[in-house]
Amino acid sequence: MFKKKKESKFSKKFRKATSFLEEKVTSLTKIDWIILGVFVVFYSIISFNNLGTLKNPQTYYRFTHTGEEVGIELVGDSAEISMIRHYTGDDEGTYNLFISDDGNSYVQIDKVLEQKSVFAWNDTYISKKFKYLKIVSNQDGGSLGDVQLYDAYGNKIQVKASDDQSVVIVDELDTVPTRISYLNSSYFDEIYFARTAYEYAHGIQVEEWTHPPLGKLIQMIPILLFGMSTFAYRFMGNIAGILMIPTIYVFAKDMFKKRKWAILAAVLMTFDCFHFAQTRMGTVDSFLVLFIMLSSLFMYRYVCLDDSAPMKKKLTNLGLSGLFIGCAIATKWTGFYAGLALCIAFFTHFIISNIKGRRNHKKVKFEKDDLIVILSCVLFFVIVPIIIYLLCYLLFPNMYPYHIDGIGDIFKQTGEMFKYHSNLDAAHDFSSPWYTWPIMKRPVWYYVGYFNGDLKGTITGIGNPAIWWFGILGGIYCLIDALKSRRKETLYIVLFIACTWLPYVFIGRIMFMYHYFPVLPFIMLANVALIKWLTDLVDDNSIYYFYIGVVILFFIYFFPIISGTVKTAQFIDKFKWFKSWFF
């Protein structure tokens, strides 16, 4: 027989120091709160760092008709102007430019001032000498913020308004950035969601109507508090991204019973590259995923309750599950996919519980408690979500194409939304089919900024390979384990992966890798299940620590291309492992 290897002093000390990992306490203790505090503080520091600026123009000149004009003049004599840096408000436009040396005789130049996206800075290069400049709208509509002129050497030139109505385009010149980047300008789908949040905040007609209002209403809150800025409309999404960490920690602790598996789940959420890039952007997907996670967590808690558990505890979990799935659906209709999983989980548990009850002679008929649960579910999962959905529209009725004056208008709006998504016929360079998402064949290129020399910054929606690729194995393991052992945790994971991912098989419209985001928390739980099985198999935590190390190293490695860090183009090119990885 082999002699057991003597444990070293270091190993003993390490095992003792990490003994808290092995505790089987499902409720949150003081140690758990400390651990969660460390995760939240750490992730908050890195996610709020360079999230955006609070210094964006707040006042704009709104053009209502073609030919409307504003004007500025140089403080001093005529000068050679090389560039106009200008800010777009909540509506794009194009403008003809007229210059003059005396303020009376103007000549149109061959350059057009064009606004490429809302709430963003743009540069127009002109190379002309003048003292007076008129900006004349060549279309109905447009919103112009501050305008800064630069001399032939790239230095700012002091300017003032030519008349009273033009003051708003030179009243916040301190907000003009040294260079244009994601820090001070909108990018990707922020041009829809952040714009709509601004419109909600100001009670004007909402242009982005193809998704329900709740996510944009949540985005609106910091805009009301801080004004319209990149930091403000990204703030709540980043908060949602932070809250996903304690949520998955609690989820994993409920599922796998030990603190170390909860820590592993939190590590995966903290150090996933896609989670970092997506939740720092001013869109609504962060809220959708957080609401799905919360609704599925409380449903899991319900299905794990013993039949003898107090009715109050059962109804509390069901009520919270219904509340959060209602919020998910009121953010994006894809919340219905998670709702399907909740429905299957509930009725499977309900039916099996009744069968076992009859088998054990505890139940002989449909009892009063069963009726209470069913009726409560009608309230929690039907009536409450409908109320949430309707209230989002009724409280903020300035919608396009229908102004919401009643329930009938909401039905019309919903019909238009369905028609839009079902008939959408579009193409995009970074679209990808559903079956390519786990392997990250086509990451979504959200942003690029080019700077002096060969420098650029980029933000790419790419996952952490140690989570996404390993997640394929994790999903397969959970499927096999669910079929073989029928353990509740792996059955639950497989159910939610299937319901939040496989519906895209039947969708013909354009899709992107970010549609996989609601699946990701369950992929992470699948990875935890697989690592747990491997660790238990060898009875050694080495795999556990090694996997955590690899996950963190991949996050550090990919950080420059998910954070907009300015690097050389050659440096960025090193991250393009495959031809389909383009950023």
Coil/strand/helix, residue 137: strand
**Could you give the strand order of the β-sheet that contains 107-114, starting from the edge strand earlier in sequence?**
107-114, 94-100, 132-137, 69-74, 159-161
> Minimal CA–CA distance to 338: which of 571, 160, 496, 567?
496
Q: What pLDDT, on the 0 to 100 scale, is given for residue 1?
A: 43
Coil/strand/helix, residue 456: strand
Q: What is the DSSP letter of 182?
A: T
Q: 5 is written with which tokens?
A: 């290897």
Coil/strand/helix, residue 479: helix
Cα maximum dimension of the chain = 104
CA 199 to chain centre: 20
> Minimal CA–CA distance to 531: which of 272, 255, 244, 265?
265
For 30, counting Cβ atoms within 10 Å of its Cβ (0-12 exposed, 13-18 middle, 19+ buried), the class is: exposed
Q: 552 is written with which tokens?
A: 């963190």
Flag whether the pTM goes above 0.85. yes
> Across the strands, what pairs with 137?
95
> Minimal CA–CA distance to 73: which of 134, 132, 24?
132
Q: 241 is written with which tokens?
A: 């991204």
Q: What pLDDT, on the 0 to 100 scale, is given for residue 352?
A: 87
**Could you give the strand order of the β-sheet that contains 444-450, starting from the edge strand earlier in sequence?**
444-450, 455-461, 567-568
Amino acid identity of residue 477, one-letter, is Y
Query: Residue 164: which residues within 8 A CB-CB, separation 6 or more?
Result: none
For β-strands 159-161 and 444-450, DSSP reports them as unpaired
Question: Along the 583 residues of the chain, how does pLDDT read in single tens digits?
Answer: 445 455 666 666 666 667 777 777 778 899 999 999 999 999 999 999 999 999 999 999 999 999 999 999 999 999 999 999 999 999 999 999 999 999 999 999 999 999 999 999 999 999 999 999 999 999 999 999 999 999 999 999 999 999 999 999 999 999 999 999 999 999 999 999 999 999 999 999 998 899 999 999 999 999 999 999 999 999 999 999 999 999 999 999 999 999 999 999 999 999 999 999 999 999 999 999 999 999 999 999 999 998 889 999 999 999 999 999 999 999 999 999 999 999 999 999 999 888 876 666 555 556 788 899 999 999 999 999 999 999 999 998 888 888 998 999 999 999 999 988 888 877 788 889 999 999 999 999 999 999 988 899 999 999 999 999 999 999 999 999 999 999 999 999 999 999 999 999 999 888 999 999 999 999 999 999 999 999 999 998 999 999 999 999 999 999 999 999 999 999 999 999 999 999 9
Q: What pLDDT, on the 0 to 100 scale, is given for residue 5?
A: 53
> Across the strands, what pairs with 460?
445
As assigned by CATH, the class of the 61-175 domain is mainly beta
Please state, in angstroms and rounded to a whole number, the distance separating the CA atoms of residues 174 and 569.
Answer: 31
For β-strands 107-114 and 567-568, DSSP reports them as unpaired
Unique residue bearing structure tokens 């409280």:
395
Q: Domain-by-domain residue ranges, the chain?
A: 19-52+206-363+376-573, 61-175
